């Protein structure tokens, strides 16, 4: 075994996968989370979600939102100005608000809010209500509602790429003296991308009502909603099977039953030890998410570990096979996104990590495809 | 010293760690209880997982870990109850079963999974077999030996009453007994692997400590076998086809000394006797495959012990023992095991044979051939090894030899065992002697009669260390004299156990014994031959009344020849006094048998010994008295022979050194001329001659005394002679007249009263008694009294 300082301790013979070992420190930013793993912590609406990783995730999120706050402030200023000086209140409601499903979404302050949930082909129907402040009238040059699908990137903040933009004119220029409601409908809207809140990118859908005024600033009101798309069961779903190791040190064969998993799926598999000459302390399975934004030289990759799941305690001997069963439901996963609008990708990896008694880590990462099943 | 301190401090540390862990368990258990009371599943899971995280420690020794485990075990029972309630509140078992698996750490996860699994099985919402299989499979994730062992032990404990055994509520949909067995076997196998693995972890210098720790954990593994034995559905068939082969496979393959020994022992202890009996072959075939260092002899001994107890407790199963050829299998196994373990100390091999023998003696008491076979096996093992030097092995050999003796309490039976002696040969000299003594004591204690000449040979063959000097034995002088005497006395007593009612046989026995004793050497002969002589004399008495031809297989003549040779051997030793006595005994016997020449010959021999060998004057006196006594009683002689012999005897008497001795011998000789019984000689004249001579000698003694010490000695001799006179007077010896007596009486009285004579109370009393006797006779009023009337008693 080489002991070179770059932390790579050797490579497998040709034909086999390589196994990378690296010192524990400086690995993937897990040091951020001071909490011991394995505790059930971090409240979440879904009570199944009692994995220690949630907390870890929220740490990451918090710091990410730090980067977004400038954008957020801009929104707020607009809104406040409108509310304060605005001569009317504008509200947007969906017709089926009572019955429609809602998605729980983490907001920038870490709290979760419930947001109406739509599927890709749903019709977005509702009404806009404008209540002028009593005694005031609202003069306008027209009222319109837009349905926007936007992608925001961290390194290009403030700029939204609208990949979907639909407009309905609600009113011709005139003035509003009393409450006025405008029904609107976007029928069978093509919303091919899912809403997504990432580290460096977010994809969102909004309804935007604009009361255009000639002198004063326009009065603008937003309504967020969430979009999810179901994928069909994949036709081909092979198992992942591989023999990896470090020559004369460790040979293992692992197998995950599938390569494609839906979000509430279970990862089943096993690890078979062919040769063990190092003193293994434990073994864990990690679920990692890699978010890539931009393209070419401006590509940013952000990896986070969503789950750490211990699957073996102690040192096995040759011939031992260790079962894997990992329920995905507790983790806040999304489907795999590949090259969304040429702006970003989100990929998932299973990382098998063996830790030896000197805390060296040996790992092998395999991509898995996540999809949303109905 | 240093090591000890280390041990102490580490014990202190252990206590501290345990206390810390306990405190944390308690803390989390408290919150868990609160969550349980509030029916808050999430918190209950959270705190229970935190509590169980304490079990992830690697610091504690197995013993401390066990304490911690027990503590959490109790808490988990409460959690189990809570889970049960949760399902009543509408949560499905399947849900719970999944929910607990979200826990990130494997150890708490699996403890929780097993706990929920228990509730799940009880609900019968899913087949027990599936859940059990899943649990035992998932438990593979814990590969750390101690943690794994305890986890699986927890699984075993929880699942005990939930196995789909025959008659259990979980049977049927939940699986059958096969599934139950499969589950337990798998758990057992994995536990054993973990247990064995402990041995190979950690530094080599802590091997001892590790072994100790391991043995503390062994019951965790063994419990699985116990569970198997408790399954009602495991009948003989299943045991034979599934359970035993699988368990043995694991035992053999684990190649671990401690495990193999313990688990073999476990099998033997937990499963019923009849199972063992019917699967002997399988069980025994595993024995030679164990590691060479395994203490297999103890294991096999246990098995044999157990089966023999079984046979003893229920005799009706004996036919089964025969049917399965238990003995043959055992003896094969013993041989194989010994072959498979070339390093086994001799003591091990021998103790295996001891165990086998014990088995035979308990189960097949009537099969002497088996016993002999066992001994034969042992002999084979010992072959070429000469005397066994190892003390322990010797002890076992003694046990091997003593066992049949204790069982049969009959040396005759032992003598039928052809290999018995061969085993004995391998004992070292001292032990062999001890063994021989034991044998003899057994004969004596049980009054075993040895009735056949060939048995005698056999027996003495066993005892040969005692009756002769064998090669390599220390010289007799080195032996402890007391022990030697004790042993030889035993041998002597043994002779009286050689008895046969048939004279011919008896004679053969004696000859055989004589032959054996003949090699004993001068030290032993004085002990061994006399009883033989007396035995022969006894034979003489029984032959006396039978008219047997001289040339028959046995005749008086032959017996006397035998006696002659025997005693002669003693005189050669030399043990003259003994030989003399025996000659006289023989002479007397010959006399009784009317064999004058024989008797004469014996006397001649006795006389020769007297003349040539007995020099000590005291011994001479005794010898002479014996000769006189015997001669007096022997009436077979014709005048001529008799004269010769009496003359000789009288002659010897007069030649004794001390005057008193001379005197006494001479007056004793007077009896040779006066035989009261039958038609004996009554030569009054010579009697008187003897007495007078005695008087003369007594007188001379007095004078000598007066010359050397200035005073006369006591009058003892005179009084004694007076008594002799009175005796003959009474018997009607006409030569002894009242006048002579009167004269002697007066002489004595005068002398005693004279100042010159030393006073002696005893003599005075003797005289007084004698005088009183005379008075008494005088007043009796019969014919004797008349004759006494002439005697006047001086006052």
Please answer whether residues B546 and B534 qualify as being in contact, where contact means their C-beta atoms are separated by less than 8 angstroms. Answer: no
**CB contact (8 A) between residue A37 and residue B104:** yes
B137 pLDDT higher than 80? yes
CA distance to partner chain A, nearest, from residue B224 (Å) = 21
Which pLDDT value is given to residue B184? 94
CB < 8 Å to B57, chain A: none
Q: In which band, very low, low, confident or very high, does the pLDDT at B34 lie, cut at 50, 70 and 90?
A: very high
Q: Rounded to whole angstroms, how far apart are CA atoms B585 and B529? A: 13
Which pLDDT value is given to residue B52? 94
B267 and B133 within one domain: yes
B303 and B215 within one domain: no
Chain A residue closest to B98 (CA)?
A: A327
Exposed, middle or buried by CB within 10 Å (0-12, 13-18, 19+), for B406?
exposed
Judge whether A314 is closer than 8 Å to chain B, CB to CB. yes
B324 pLDDT higher than 60? yes
User: Please, what is the average pLDDT of chain B?
Assistant: 84
Higher pLDDT, A107 or B625: B625
Q: In which band, very low, low, confident or very high, does the pLDDT at B679 lie, cut at 50, 70 and 90?
A: low
Q: In which band, very low, low, confident or very high, does the pLDDT at B674 lie, cut at 50, 70 and 90?
A: confident
Host H or E run for residue B569: helix B556-572
Judge whether B46 is closer than 8 Å to chain A, CB to CB. yes
Hey, which residues 51-70 in chain B have their CB within 8 Å of chain A? 53, 56
CB atoms within 10 A of CB B239: 24
Regarding an ipTM greater than 0.90, the answer is no
B333 and B292 within one domain: yes
B185 and B208 within one domain: yes
Strand partners, A174: A140
- Can the peptide bond before residue B244 be classed as cis, meaning omega within 30 degrees of 0? no
**CB contact (8 A) between residue A50 and residue B102:** yes
Q: What is the residue whose two structure tokens read 């096995």?
A: A316
- Look at residue B91 and give its three-state secondary structure: coil
B145 and B260 within one domain: yes
Q: What is the residue whose two structure tokens read 């010293």?
A: B1
The reply to whether B408 falls in a domain is: yes
Judge whether B144 is closer than 8 Å to chain A, CB to CB. yes
Q: Rounded to whole angstroms, how far apart are CA atoms B592 and B134? A: 101
Q: In which band, very low, low, confident or very high, does the pLDDT at B733 lie, cut at 50, 70 and 90?
A: confident
Q: What is the residue whose two structure tokens read 């008594």?
A: B723
B147 and B39 within one domain: no
- What number of C-beta contacts closer than 8 Å exist between A and B? 90
Average pLDDT over residues B90-107: 93
Higher pLDDT, B333 or A269: A269
Tokens of residue A292, six digits: 């890539």
Q: Rounded to whole angstroms, how far apart are CA atoms B672 and B630? A: 10
CA distance to partner chain B, nearest, from residue A40 (Å) = 5
Which pLDDT value is given to residue B103? 92
Q: Rounded to whole angstroms, how far apart are CA atoms A81 and A87? A: 11
Which pLDDT value is given to residue A14? 32
Measured in degrees and rounded to the nearest 5, phi and psi for residue B727 equal -60, -55
Judge whether B449 is closer than 8 Å to chain A, CB to CB. no
Q: Rounded to whole angstroms, how far apart are CA atoms A304 and A173? A: 50
B231 and B214 within one domain: yes
Best of A314, A318, A323, A324 to disrupt the B interface (most B CBs within 10 Å) is: A314
Task: Give CA separation, A360 vs A223, A271, A357, B399, B660, in Å.
Answer: 50, 19, 7, 61, 114
Closest to A259 measured CA to CA, from A367, A151, A161, A165: A367
Listed residues B101, B125, B149: the one ending a domain:
B125
Q: In which band, very low, low, confident or very high, does the pLDDT at B474 lie, cut at 50, 70 and 90?
A: low
- Look at residue B472 and give its three-state secondary structure: coil
Q: How many Cα atoms are found within 13 Å in the side-chain-facing hemisphere of A270? A: 12
**CB contact (8 A) between residue A314 and residue B142:** yes
Which pLDDT value is given to residue B101? 94
Q: In which band, very low, low, confident or very high, does the pLDDT at B251 lie, cut at 50, 70 and 90?
A: very high
Task: Give CA separation, A46 vs A54, B99, B275, B774, in Å.
Answer: 11, 12, 56, 138
The reply to whether B553 falls in a domain is: no
B92 and B64 within one domain: yes
**CB contact (8 A) between residue A40 and residue B137:** no
Of B53, B101, B144, the CB nearest to A38: B53
SS (H, E, C) chain A: CCCCCCCCCCCCCCCCECCEEEECCCCCCHHHCCCCCCCCCCCCCCCCCCCHHHHHHHHHHHHHHHHHHHHHHHHHHHHHHHHHHCCEEEEEEECCCCCCCEEEEECCCCCEEEEEEEECCCCEEEEEEEEECCCCCEEECEEEEEEEEEEEEHHHCCCEEEEEEEEEEEECCEEECCCEEEEEEECCCCCCCCCEECCCEEEEEEEEEEEECCCCCCEEEEEEEEEECCCCCCCCCCCEEEEEEECCCEEEEEEECCCEEECCCEEEEEEEEEEECCCEEEEEEEEEEEEEECCHHHCEEEEEEEEEEEEEECCCCCCCEEEEEEECCCCCCCCCEEEECCCEEEEEEEEEEEEECCCEEEEEEEEEEEECCC
Which pLDDT value is given to residue B229? 92
> Taking every pair of C-alpha atoms in chain A, what is the biggest distance, in angstroms?
86
Judge whether B103 is closer than 8 Å to chain A, CB to CB. yes
Higher pLDDT, B738 or A5: B738
Judge whether B42 is closer than 8 Å to chain A, CB to CB. yes
With left for phi above 0 and alpha for psi between -120 and 50, is residue B172 left, alpha or beta? Answer: left
CB < 8 Å to B143, chain A: 312-317, 320, 322
- Indicate yes or no: pTM above 0.80: no
B196 and B75 within one domain: no
**CB contact (8 A) between residue B42 and residue A47:** yes
Closest to B466 measured CA to CA, from B444, B435, B445: B435
**CB contact (8 A) between residue B42 and residue A38:** no
Q: Rounded to whole angstroms, how far apart are CA atoms B111 and B75? A: 11
Of A47, A307, A311, the CB nearest to B141: A311
Q: What is the pLDDT of residues B601-611, one digit of tens each?
A: 888 888 888 88
Task: Give CA separation, A90 vs A125, A211, A220, in Å.
Answer: 16, 9, 8
The reply to whether B699 falls in a domain is: no
Structural domain of residue B41, as residue ranges? 1-125
Which pLDDT value is given to residue A26? 33
Q: What is the pLDDT of residues B386-435, one digit of tens each?
A: 777 788 888 888 888 888 888 887 777 887 888 888 888 888 777 887 88
CB atoms within 10 A of CB B367: 14
B545 pLDDT higher than 80? no
Q: In which band, very low, low, confident or very high, does the pLDDT at B144 lie, cut at 50, 70 and 90?
A: very high
Please answer whether residues B275 and B319 qualify as being in contact, where contact means their C-beta atoms are separated by less than 8 angstroms. Answer: no
Judge whether B108 is closer than 8 Å to chain A, CB to CB. yes
**CB contact (8 A) between residue B106 and residue A40:** no
Average pLDDT over residues B59-80: 92
Chain A residue closest to B96 (CA)?
A: A48
Hey, which residues 173-192 in chain B have their CB within 8 Å of chain A? none
CB atoms within 10 A of CB A170: 20
**CB contact (8 A) between residue A39 and residue B46:** yes
Q: Rounded to whole angstroms, how far apart are CA atoms B522 and B534? A: 19
Closest to A302 measured CA to CA, from A293, A314, A311: A293
Please answer whether residues A62 and B128 qualify as being in contact, where contact means their C-beta atoms are separated by less than 8 angstroms. Answer: no
**CB contact (8 A) between residue A325 and residue B138:** yes
Q: How many structural domains are present in chain B?
A: 3
Q: Rounded to whole angstroms, how far apart are CA atoms B723 and B729? A: 10
B51 and B156 within one domain: no
Strand partners, A283: A312, A354
CA distance to partner chain A, nearest, from residue B381 (Å) = 41
B516 pLDDT higher than 50? yes
Q: What is the pLDDT of residues B683-732, one digit of tens each?
A: 788 888 888 888 888 888 888 877 777 666 667 888 888 888 888 888 87
Q: In which band, very low, low, confident or very high, does the pLDDT at B49 lie, cut at 50, 70 and 90?
A: very high
- Look at residue B142 and give its three-state secondary structure: strand
Best of A43, A284, A307, A313 to disrupt the B interface (most B CBs within 10 Å) is: A313
Rounded to an integer, what is the distance from CA A333 to the centroid of its chain? 6
- Helix B556-572 / helix B576-592 crossing angle, nearest 10 deg: 170
B496 Cβ neighbours under 8 A, 6+ residues apart? B531, B535
Rounded to an integer, what is the distance from CA B773 to the centroid of its chain? 60
Which pLDDT value is given to residue A146? 94
Please answer whether residues B268 and B302 qualify as being in contact, where contact means their C-beta atoms are separated by less than 8 angstroms. Answer: yes
Highest mean pLDDT among B262-271, B448-457, B542-551: B262-271
The reply to whether B350 falls in a domain is: yes
- Look at residue B172 and give its three-state secondary structure: strand
CB < 8 Å to B192, chain A: none
Q: In tens digits, what is the pLDDT along chain A, a chain of 374 residues? A: 333 333 333 333 333 344 554 443 333 323 222 233 333 333 333 333 333 333 333 333 333 333 333 333 344 444 444 445 678 889 999 998 888 899 888 877 778 889 999 988 889 999 999 998 888 888 899 999 999 999 998 877 778 889 999 999 999 998 888 899 999 999 888 899 999 998 889 999 999 999 998 878 888 999 999 999 999 999 999 999 999 988 888 999 999 999 999 999 999 999 999 999 989 999 999 999 999 988 778 788 999 999 999 999 999 989 999 999 999 999 989 999 999 998 899 999 999 999 998 999 999 999 999 999 98
Of A37, A310, A321, the CB nearest to B140: A321
The reply to whether B459 falls in a domain is: no
Which pLDDT value is given to residue A8? 32
The reply to whether B780 falls in a domain is: no
B361 Cβ neighbours under 8 A, 6+ residues apart? B371, B403, B404, B407
Closest to A273 measured CA to CA, from A365, A360, A367, A352: A352
With left for phi above 0 and alpha for psi between -120 and 50, is residue A133 left, alpha or beta? Answer: beta
Tokens of residue B24, six digits: 């944390």
CA distance to partner chain A, nearest, from residue B286 (Å) = 24
Which pLDDT value is given to residue B680? 67
Highest mean pLDDT among B13-27, B358-372, B619-633, B768-782: B13-27
The reply to whether B406 falls in a domain is: yes
Please answer whether residues A330 and A51 qualify as being in contact, where contact means their C-beta atoms are separated by less than 8 angstroms. Answer: yes
Q: In which band, very low, low, confident or very high, does the pLDDT at B473 lie, cut at 50, 70 and 90?
A: low
Please answer whether residues B414 and B425 qualify as being in contact, where contact means their C-beta atoms are separated by less than 8 angstroms. Answer: no
Q: What is the pLDDT of residues B174-185, one digit of tens each?
A: 888 999 999 999
B105 and B4 within one domain: yes
Average pLDDT over residues B548-568: 77
- End-to-end alpha-carbon separation of chain B, Å? 98
Best of A48, A310, A352 to disrupt the B interface (most B CBs within 10 Å) is: A310
B202 and B328 within one domain: no
The reply to whether B93 falls in a domain is: yes
């Amino acid at each position: 075994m080489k002991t070179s300082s770059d932390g790579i301790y050797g490579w497998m013979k040709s034909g086999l996968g390589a196994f990378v070992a690296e010192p524990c420190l400086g690995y993937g930013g897990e040091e951020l989370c001071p909490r011991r793993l394995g505790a059930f912590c971090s409240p979440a609406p879904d009570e199944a979600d009692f994995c220690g990783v949630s907390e870890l995730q929220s740490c990451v999120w918090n710091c990410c939102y730090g980067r977004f706050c400038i954008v957020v402030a801009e929104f707020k200023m607009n809104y406040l100005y409108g509310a304060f000086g605005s001569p009317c209140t504008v509200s947007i409601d969906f017709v089926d608000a009572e019955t429609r499903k809602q998605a729980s979404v983490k907001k920038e302050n870490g709290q979760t809010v419930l947001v109406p949930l739509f599927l890709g082909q749903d019709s977005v129907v509702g009404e806009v209500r404008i209540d002028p402040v009593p005694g005031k009238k609202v003069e306008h040059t027209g009222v319109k509602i837009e349905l926007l699908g936007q992608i925001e990137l961290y390194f290009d903040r403030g700029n939204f790429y609208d990949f979907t933009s639909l407009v309905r004119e609600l009113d011709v220029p005139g003035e509003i003296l009393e409450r006025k409601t405008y029904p609107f409908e976007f029928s069978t809207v093509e919303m091919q991308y899912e809403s997504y809140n990432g580290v460096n990118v977010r994809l969102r859908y909004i309804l935007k009502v604009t009361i255009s005024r000639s002198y004063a600033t326009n009065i603008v009101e937003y309504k967020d909603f969430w979009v999810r798309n179901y994928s069909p069961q994949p036709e081909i779903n092979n198992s992942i099977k591989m023999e990896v190791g470090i020559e004369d040190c460790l040979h293992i064969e692992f197998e995950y039953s599938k390569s494609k998993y839906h979000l509430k799926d279970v990862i089943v598999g096993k690890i078979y030890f062919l040769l063990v000459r190092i003193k293994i302390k434990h073994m864990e399975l990690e679920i990692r998410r890699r978010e890539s934004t931009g393209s070419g030289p401006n590509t940013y990759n952000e990896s986070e570990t969503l789950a750490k799941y211990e699957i073996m305690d102690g040192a096995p001997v040759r011939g031992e096979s260790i079962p894997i069963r990992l329920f995905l439901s507790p983790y806040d996963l999304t489907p795999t996104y590949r090259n969304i609008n040429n702006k970003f990708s989100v990929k998932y990896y299973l990382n098998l990590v063996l830790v030896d008694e000197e805390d060296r880590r040996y790992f092998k990462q395999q991509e898995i495809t996540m999809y949303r099943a109905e | 010293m240093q090591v000890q301190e280390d041990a102490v401090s580490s014990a202190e540390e252990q206590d501290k760690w345990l206390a810390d862990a306990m405190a944390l368990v308690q803390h989390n258990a408290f919150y868990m209880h609160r969550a349980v009371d509030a029916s808050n599943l999430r918190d209950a899971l959270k705190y229970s997982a935190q509590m169980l995280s304490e079990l992830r420690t690697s610091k504690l020794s197995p013993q401390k870990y066990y304490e911690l485990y027990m503590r959490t075990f109790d808490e988990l029972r409460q959690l189990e109850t809570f889970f049960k309630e949760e399902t009543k509140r509408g949560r499905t078992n399947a849900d719970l079963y999944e929910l607990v698996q979200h826990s990130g750490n494997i150890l708490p996860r699996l403890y929780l999974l097993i706990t929920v699994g228990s509730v799940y099985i009880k609900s019968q919402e899913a087949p027990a077999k599936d859940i059990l299989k899943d649990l035992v499979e998932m438990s593979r994730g814990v590969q750390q030996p101690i943690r794994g062992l305890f986890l699986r032990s927890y699984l075993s404990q929880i699942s005990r009453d939930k196995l789909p055994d025959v008659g259990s509520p979980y049977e049927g949909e939940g699986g059958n007994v096969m599934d139950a067995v499969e589950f337990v076997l798998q758990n057992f196998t994995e536990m054993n692997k973990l247990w064995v693995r402990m041995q190979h972890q950690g530094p080599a210098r802590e091997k001892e400590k590790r072994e100790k720790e391991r043995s503390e954990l062994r019951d965790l593994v063994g419990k699985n076998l116990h569970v198997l034995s408790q399954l009602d559905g495991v009948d003989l068939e299943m045991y034979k086809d599934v359970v035993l082969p699988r368990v043995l496979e694991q035992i053999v393959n684990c190649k671990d000394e401690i495990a193999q020994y313990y688990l073999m022992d476990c099998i033997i202890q937990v499963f019923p006797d009849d199972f063992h009996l019917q699967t002997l072959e399988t069980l025994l075939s595993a024995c030679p495959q164990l590691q060479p260092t395994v203490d297999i002899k103890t294991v096999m001994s246990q098995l044999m012990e157990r089966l023999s107890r079984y046979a003893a407790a229920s005799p009706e199963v004996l036919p089964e023992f025969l049917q399965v050829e238990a003995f043959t299998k055992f003896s094969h196994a013993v041989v194989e095991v010994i072959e498979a373990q070339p390093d086994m100390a001799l003591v091990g091999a021998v103790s295996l044979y001891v165990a086998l023998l014990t088995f035979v003696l308990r189960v097949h008491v009537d099969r002497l051939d088996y016993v002999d076979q066992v001994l034969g096996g042992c002999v084979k093992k010992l072959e070429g090894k000469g005397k066994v030097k190892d003390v322990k092995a010797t002890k076992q050999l003694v046990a091997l030899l003593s066992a049949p003796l204790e069982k049969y309490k009959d040396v005759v039976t032992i003598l039928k065992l052809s290999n018995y002696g061969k085993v004995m040969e391998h004992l070292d000299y001292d032990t062999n002697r001890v063994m021989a003594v034991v044998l003899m004591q057994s004969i004596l204690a049980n009054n075993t009669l040895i009735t056949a000449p060939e048995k005698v040979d056999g027996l003495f063959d066993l005892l040969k260390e005692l009756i002769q000097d064998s090669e390599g034995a220390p010289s007799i002088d080195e032996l402890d004299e007391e022990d030697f005497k004790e042993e030889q006395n035993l041998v002597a007593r043994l002779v009286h156990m050689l008895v046969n009612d048939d004279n011919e046989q008896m004679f053969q026995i004696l000859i055989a014994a004589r032959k054996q004793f003949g090699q004993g050497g001068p030290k032993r002969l004085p002990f061994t031959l006399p009883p033989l002589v007396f035995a022969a004399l006894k034979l003489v008495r029984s032959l006396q009344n039978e008219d047997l031809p001289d040339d028959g297989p046995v005749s008086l003549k032959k017996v006397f020849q035998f006696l002659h040779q025997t005693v002669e051997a003693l005189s050669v030793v030399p043990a003259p006094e003994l030989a003399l006595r025996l000659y006289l005994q023989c002479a007397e016997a010959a006399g009784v048998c009317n064999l004058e020449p024989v008797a004469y010959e014996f006397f001649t021999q006795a006389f020769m010994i007297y003349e040539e060998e007995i020099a000590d004057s005291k011994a001479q006196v005794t010898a002479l008295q014996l000769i006189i006594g015997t001669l007096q009683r022997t009436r077979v002689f014709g005048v001529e022979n008799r004269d010769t012999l009496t003359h000789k005897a009288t002659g010897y008497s007069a030649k004794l050194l001390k005057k008193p001795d001379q005197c006494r011998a001479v007056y004793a000789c007077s009896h040779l001329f006066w035989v009261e019984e039958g038609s004996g000689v009554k030569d009054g004249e010579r009697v008187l001659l003897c007495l007078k001579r005695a008087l003369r000698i007594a007188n001379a003694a007095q004078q000598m005394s007066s010359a050397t010490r200035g005073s006369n000695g006591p009058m003892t001799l005179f009084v004694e002679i007076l008594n002799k006179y009175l005796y003959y007077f009474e018997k009607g010896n006409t030569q002894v007249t009242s006048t002579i007596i009167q004269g002697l009486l007066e002489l004595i009285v005068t002398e005693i009263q004279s100042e010159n004579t030393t006073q002696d109370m005893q003599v005075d009393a003797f005289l007084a008694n004698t005088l009183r006797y005379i008075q008494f006779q005088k007043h009796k009023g019969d014919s004797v009294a008349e004759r006494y009337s002439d005697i006047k008693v001086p006052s």
